[in-house]
Structure 1
Amino acid sequence: MPELRALGTALLAGVSVVSVVVGLAAQNTLGNLIAGFSLVLYRQVRVGDTVSLDSPKGMVTARVELISLGFTVLRDEQQQEVIVPNSVLMNSTILRVARSSD
């Protein structure tokens, strides 16, 4: 059945294009998710730690409040929340100022 074969080929090509588009669109999200797993597994930074890291506004010193799979929430000295994507956190040099007491 040549008609069915042509339809199957067209569907397969369409699904391939859609999967590439979805993969490219989700690249940052997947990167944050994988970085979140790394943060949770390796525990380089823990909730309660005080860290310094470079940001677009300069060096930020803040306390880690929450580590999720997509982002990390920090609170600086002015009590402002600093929300950092985990992929950015994993690619930054972090200075641990104080370790939380466990």
Structure 2
Amino acid sequence: MEEVMNYIKPELVLVSLVLYFIGMWFKNASFVKDKYIPLLLGGIGILLCGIWVFSNCSCSSPKELAMAFFTSFTQGILVAGLSTYINQIIKQAAKNE
């Protein structure tokens, strides 16, 4: 877990918890198939991280703008992956083997 945290910005760890609860809501919703949940969480993660990144950067040059998009994308995917990881830890801990 510590290795994962080396790549995710500390400010965005909370997004993974938000995505976990959104994923649980999608799981209980009848209009979303299970196979689409990780894709939806990835997209929502990119969107939420993008909001945070663009609200905290000046983006005065094309290079800074490109870096902001890259950061939004990678952080969004990482927090979505972390939320899935959290979900699997909870599921595995509940199993009786």
How high is the TM-score relative to the length of structure 1? 0.33
Structure index of larger Rg: 1
